Structure 1
Amino acid sequence: MRPVSPRTIRHRRPATHAALGTALLVAGLAVPATAASAAPVAANGAAAVTLAAAGQPTLRQGSRGAAVSALQARLTALRYDVGGIDGIFGPSTHHAVVAFQKVNGLARDGIVGPRTRAALDRPVVPTPRYTHPGYSIEADLTRQVLYLAKRGAVVRILDASSGRSSTPTPTGDWTVGRRIDDWRQSDLGLLWRPNYFHRGYAVHGATAVPAYPASHGCVRVPVRAMDRLWTTIRVGTPVHVYR
């Protein structure tokens, strides 16, 4: 968002290989017999368990059951911000799927069909461009995702929406300068828990996070995702914005 004068108004851990294998079997998904105990490991340590299988149901927002739990476990293992494994395909799971599709160059529809299932078997594993001893944030404007990184590894991937072409998000290297633990009414809209990194530009929660650049310059993430991110970052956290 463009610089404005301030006016304030008033992780479950990734499933273990054994648990993930059990969830996949319950869901009726194809899993090699040794997947739970000797699953291949991707570059970031996530278990590369096979999810694709003929005749598997298409999953989308509103779906429920063991197949959704298996999907959530897989996305969590790959560091996508699902919010928890509960077998309910709600908004957090939807945004996690969209973020996965963005990183893997798929249609950004939030629906888990054959192509997304196949990509879950052999995913692109992103790595941060910068290394810091503590947490840092990287906004990839090309992919429209936000990475939470630590010591050269991506530890969380969030769905994001940056500035549209008429109000682009500035690229560069900064740190979080100030934070507001509340809704902030700006001249251009409401920001949930904004973390300002450059003038009036912030990473903040929003009720609307489209799958394309749509903001006035800030980097939007879902409200619930910001709630989960809030205690991890602080004033001084490095912020890198790039294309």
Structure 2
Amino acid sequence: MTIGSRGWHVQQFQTALASSGYWLGAADGVFGQLTQQAVWALQKTHGLRRTGVIDEALWNSGLARVRAQSKLKQDGIEIDLATQTLMIVKGGVVHLTLNTSTGNGNGERFEYLGGWATAITPKGTFKIYRKSVQETSTNAWVEGPLGRMYKPRFFTTTGIAVHGSLSIPPYPASHGCIRLHNSAQDYLLRTGRLVNGTDVRIY
């Protein structure tokens, strides 16, 4: 099963993914972009090839019912650069796991707020502290030094943010930010997972 597939089997796998915290919107029996994102997150979590396809081996593995495990066991956002996943953790339990795409490691330099920054994803513990002044109720897209971002929530003073994007491949591709599908970003914002003061731990 892949993008465009429909039916009961798709819905059954979607339901299993959702029950384990792999967010995909609605389990509606339609294999769309959000389901592909969830399948990538599952494959990344368990060290599988990142195909975005539900094949017979994945179907029979039962992994869709296995929740991701937090390494740090601390509340907030946990980002694993090796697996390229973003996890929402509460009480040591992973509530949500999302496909993400972080810094590509090219080390590009860019001007930011009168200084220079390097386009990498930093490791460490941070806190979300602001949104962009450009963002309004009618303007969700923000123009940054390296391109457009959807509803970014910044956690460094050098412009690194968790934000929505139209391109979230299953590998590192950003200039340093944490990319999510726009719908996933909307969901995290709507459910209060990206408020100021939220811990962001990257390793």
TM class, shorter-chain normalised? 0.7 to 0.9
Match of 2:77 among 137, 140, 146: 137
Q: Do structure 1's residue 77 and structure 2's residue 19 form an aligned pair? A: yes
Amino acid at match of 2:45: V
Q: Do structure 1's residue 191 and structure 2's residue 145 form an aligned pair? A: no
Q: CA deviation at 1:124?
A: 5.3
3-state DSSP class of the match of 1:198? Answer: coil
Aligned length in residues: 182
Residue pairs, 1:222-237, within 5 angstroms: 222-231=181-190, 232-233=192-193, 234-237=195-198
CA displacement 1:94-138 (0-9 Å, x = unmatched): 100011011111111110002222333486542223345xx5111
Match of 2:49 among 93, 103, 107: 107
Cα–Cα, structure 1 residues 216 and 224, in superposed 2: closer, same or farther, change >3 Å?
same
Match of 2:131 among 169, 179, 193: 179
Match in the other structure for 1:220: 179
Q: Do structure 1's residue 204 and structure 2's residue 163 form an aligned pair? A: yes
Structure 2 distance, partners of 1:79, 1:125, is 7
Match in the other structure for 1:240: 201
**Structure with the largest fraction of strand:** 2
Q: Is the 8 A contact 1:99 1:157 kept in 2?
A: yes
State the TM-score, normalized to the length of structure 1. Answer: 0.71
Larger radius of gyration, structure 1 or 2? 1
Structure 2 distance, partners of 1:136, 1:189, is 27
Cα–Cα, structure 1 residues 97 and 184, in superposed 2: closer, same or farther, change >3 Å?
same
Give percent identity, aligned residues only.
36
Q: Do structure 1's residue 157 and structure 2's residue 97 form an aligned pair? A: yes
Structure 2 distance, partners of 1:113, 1:76, is 18
Amino acid at match of 2:164: G
Structure 2 distance, partners of 1:212, 1:123, is 24
Structure 2 distance, partners of 1:202, 1:113, is 34
Cα–Cα, structure 1 residues 122 and 162, in superposed 2: closer, same or farther, change >3 Å?
closer
Unaligned runs of 5+ in 2: 108-119
Match in the other structure for 1:87: 29
Q: CA deviation at 1:217?
A: 0.5
Q: Do structure 1's residue 96 and structure 2's residue 38 form an aligned pair? A: yes
Q: Is the 8 A contact 1:104 1:124 kept in 2?
A: no
Match in the other structure for 2:122: 170
Q: Is the 8 A contact 1:172 1:241 kept in 2?
A: yes
Structure 2 distance, partners of 1:155, 1:108, is 22
Q: CA deviation at 1:166?
A: 1.1
State the TM-score, normalized to the length of structure 2. Answer: 0.85
Structure 2 distance, partners of 1:120, 1:187, is 43
Structure 1 distance, partners of 2:7, 2:163, is 32
Amino acid at match of 2:93: A
After superposition, the CA RMSD in angstroms is 1.6
Amino acid at match of 2:127: T
Structure 2 distance, partners of 1:201, 1:217, is 6
